[in-house]
Structures are given as C-alpha cells and as structure tokens.
A and B are shown apart, each in its own frame.
Chain A
Amino acid sequence: MQAMNEKPIKILYVDDEEHNLHSFKASFRKQWDISTTTSVTEAEEMIQSKEFNIILADQRMPVLTGVQFFERIRYRYPDIIRILITGHTDIRAAIDAINKGEVYRFIDKPWDHTYVENAINSAYDIYKTRRDLKQRNLELQKANEELDKFVYSASHDLRAPLMSVLGIVNLALLDDDIAAQKEYLDMIQKSVKKLDTFLINIIDYYKNARGVPVISSINFDELVTDVLATIHYLPEFEGIKINTNIRQEEAFQSDLMKLRIVFNNLINNAVKFQDPSKKDQIVDIRINANASSAKIIISDNGTGIKEEDQDKIFNMFYRAGNIRSGSGIGLYIVNEAIEKLKGNITISSLYGEGSTFEINLPSINP
C-alpha cells in the first residue's frame, strides 16, 4: 500500500545544465518525486532501476539531443510519458520530437510554473489512464480465457453424467431381468447426484465471482458444525474420524458464504480422498482465530497429492490423476474465494501420506 507521504508522480529530468535541474527541483520537489541527472547515460541507468512516470529532457545536450535520447528509450520504456524542454523554437527539432521521439508536450525555456504544472499533471493522467487500460485489458483477457475453458469443461461435466444416465436407460431397456433394474436405478441416482454437485459448484463459483461480499461476525464452531452436517450423509463419510480443535475467543469478521464454500470443498476433499488401506482414516480441522486474523488447518492422512500436481491443483478444471477426481473446479473456487477474502492458502502433501491445507485470513473490518 502507498504511504501517505509518498508522492505518486515520479519524474526524471535530464539536462546538461545543472542550474536548470536545481531550479526545477526547488520549485516542484514538494509535490512530485523528482530525480535529476546531467548525463543521458546515467539517465538510462536510472530508468532501469526505478519506475518513472514522466521523463523531461532538454533538447540541447552534448552527447545526445533530447529527441535522440527519447528515440533510444521509447521502445524499451513505452509507458513513460516524454516531455521535451527547448530553449529555441526550432521547427526541425519540433518535427523530429513528434515523429521520432513521440513527445507528449514541449516546455519552453524559461518555463512558466503553471504551464509546467499543467503539463506534468495531464501527462500523469495519460500515464495512469494507459496503465489502467492495460490492466483492464489483462483482466479481460483472463476473464475471456476462463470463460472459454469454462464453457468447454462445463459442457463436458454437464453432458457426461447425462449421457451416462442415457446409457444406463438404454441398457435397462435391453435387460429383461427385473432384479437388475434396481441396480440401474442406483446408478442413475449416483450419476444425477454427480451432476447436481457440479451445478452447485458452478453456482458457488458464480456467487463468489460476482456476488457482493457480506461481512459478518464469524462463529467458526458453528460454521464447521454446519458444514459437517451437510456432508455426513455421504457414503465416504462412514468410518472416518473427524477431529476438530477450534479456538476462538474474539469476534472475527469475514464473509460467511465464501468461508462456507472454502470449508465445504476442503472438508469434502479430505473425506473423498481417504486411503481405505489405512487402519484409521482421519481428518483434522484446527482453527485459531482472534480479532485480527484466523489460521485454519485442514489435514488428512488420505492419498496425498503428487508433487508435480501440487502447484496445479488450484487451476481451473485441473484434475489430478485420481480416479475420484471431480471436475477440477472445487479447489479453484476455494483459491478464488480466499483471494477475495485477502488471505492465502498453502498446501503441503506427501503422496501416500496425506495432505495439509493451511489458510491464513485477515479479519475484514468494515
């Protein structure tokens, strides 16, 4: 976050006459962050090591003219707005400045205080607008790519269970054995449930991505009890030992709906990816919350996640190579939700041993 006293506009001024630099600095140092140099070589080094928004250069300098200097840097640093300072109104220099150096403004010497102020402020506006536009473009690109992926995978995840049901129905119609019909109905039921889970996930995703956050005081004990109550009917749930250790003495503020999505997905996964060959199947839920932050640790002694999959499991529709993998959207939604809550999630897992997810969240105080 930007400190209150940090000046947002960062300017580099290059001029071979030192007294020009001094007087510029003296006039504007209070409002802008100003760096100066008499050498174009040094100026290039400075651009490399610090982020500038605006560069001012004098036209008449011994090694390179201001325009030549701009020509040199403009491809490598296209974002920085260039302003040329000239003592003589030379039409040739002006044409070059525009065509070769693509300067934004000219400032005449001796400069006028208000004129400089206006030039810099509007140059910074342009800088900011371009930067914001770039950012928006990146976000749009990401959103479009996700939408593409989403439509592709959603069509698969919606269609596959339906086609399974249709396949079962076709088979059931061929089979005259009444006893087999019940088996087919059981399969249809499972397939429909799978489809339903996916639909619920999609709605969760949408609510998380577009919904307005609602901040309230979170009672972790209640939240975990609630989530456990919704999944304890799962067949996988049987025989699994769930330990909870929740320490919360102060009020912690966050978005209940997003937290519910997080707990629901992580606990479901911990239950789903158990290792039936182990004698005890355990899920540990540990929470430590106070008025400023919460640490949530959900671990299991299940199948674990292969190392090469660990950095991909939060990607949209990534399915690690496990036969019990769902659509690959659950952990993606978890990660998105935690990002929205300004927290972070890390995973440590040993294949064959189990997985531990650790989440750190700040309390969101409205």
Chain B
Amino acid sequence: MSLYNFILIDDSEFDLFIYEKLLIKSGVASSVITFSSARAALHFLLTNPFPVSIMLLDLQMPDMNGFEFVEAFKDSPIHIQEKIRIFMLSSTIDQRDIENVKKNSVIIDLISKPLDINILKKTIEN
C-alpha cells in the first residue's frame, strides 16, 4: 500500500485532530498538514514548498468555504495545482451540495464524515 501526504482544511479543531490522528494511525499518511482556515491554507500553498499531496477539504467554513477555496485555488500557478488532488470531506447530505461537488471540475469526489479509512483508500486509488 502506498503512502500519501495529506493536507487537511477544516474549521473544526476537533475534526482536524481526529482525522490527522486517524490518517497517521491507520498508516495511510506519511505526512499531514492541517489548516483551520481555508484562506490561511491558500496563502501557505502559494508561498511555501510542500510535497505532492491529497487534500481533504471541508465544505462549510466561515470566511471562505470549500467551494470558494476551490475557485480561488483555480487561479494559482499550474505547477502548484498539479501537486494537489482535492477531495471534499463533509457531513453534508444536501442534494445541492452533492451536485455542486459532481459538477466541479477540480474536486475529484465527495467523502462523507466521519472519515472511513477503507473508503478513503478506495476513493483515492480509483
């Protein structure tokens, strides 16, 4: 099984803590970077080196939500965009949200909270 680098963006400190720990404990992650604000994450990615990663992005966040982050991220340099595969990690069960994820060309898939490592692996390796 291959190891991945992860970037977590979630306004809930709980969820960041839980999923960081879960990713490491389950042996799927070689590194995890966490951000409690999408805006801070965007700033970091544009100004700092980081490895090729998988991003787990929350949807409902204050200031900049998951979809807004993706819109802003589309404007970043191609070599930065190419390093990240974005998955949305959310507890939403709203049909409009689900359709918006499907329609979005940048977000690869929606993964439901709570994060299940087996489902995560399958989704990533698909």
Are A167's CB and B63's CB within 8 A? no
Are A171's CB and B18's CB within 8 A? yes
**Which residues of B, 93-110, contact A by the 8 Å Cβ criterion?**
93-94
A212 within 8 A of B: no
Are B60's CB and A160's CB within 8 A? yes
Are B22's CB and A170's CB within 8 A? yes
- Write out, one digit per residue, whether chain B residues 56-88 have a CB within 8 A of any chain A CB (1) or not (0): 000010111000000000000000000000000
When C-beta atoms are compared, the residue in chain B nearest to A167 turns out to be B114
Q: How far is the CA of A320 from the CA of B64 in the complex (A)?
A: 10
B91 within 8 A of A: yes
Of A155, A174, A187, A321, which contacts B62 at CB under 8 A? A321
B5 within 8 A of A: no
When C-beta atoms are compared, the residue in chain B nearest to A159 turns out to be B91
Chain B interface main SS type: loop
Q: What is the size, in residues, of chain B's interface with A at 8 Å between Cβ atoms?
A: 27
Known: A156-B92, A163-B114. A322 touches B62 (CB 8 A): yes
Are B12's CB and A166's CB within 8 A? no
A190 within 8 A of B: yes
- Write out, one digit per residue, whether chain A residues 120-163 have a CB within 8 A of any chain B CB (1) or not (0): 00000000000000000000000000000000100110011011
Q: How far is the CA of A168 from the CA of B25 in the complex (A)?
A: 13
A260 within 8 A of B: no
A117 within 8 A of B: no
- Chain B residues with CB below 8 A from A319, complex form: 62-63
Are B15's CB and A321's CB within 8 A? no
Of B13, B25, B63, B92, which contacts A171 at CB under 8 A? B25
Known: A167-B114, A175-B25, A320-B63. A187 touches B17 (CB 8 A): yes
- Write out, one digit per residue, whether chain A residues 289-332 have a CB within 8 A of any chain B CB (1) or not (0): 00000000000000000000000000000011111010010000
Are A167's CB and B15's CB within 8 A? yes
When C-beta atoms are compared, the residue in chain A nearest to B12 turns out to be A164
A-B contact pairs, 15 of them (CB 8 A): A156-B60, A156-B92, A159-B91, A159-B92, A160-B60, A160-B91, A163-B114, A166-B114, A167-B14, A170-B114, A171-B25, A187-B17, A191-B14, A320-B63, A323-B11
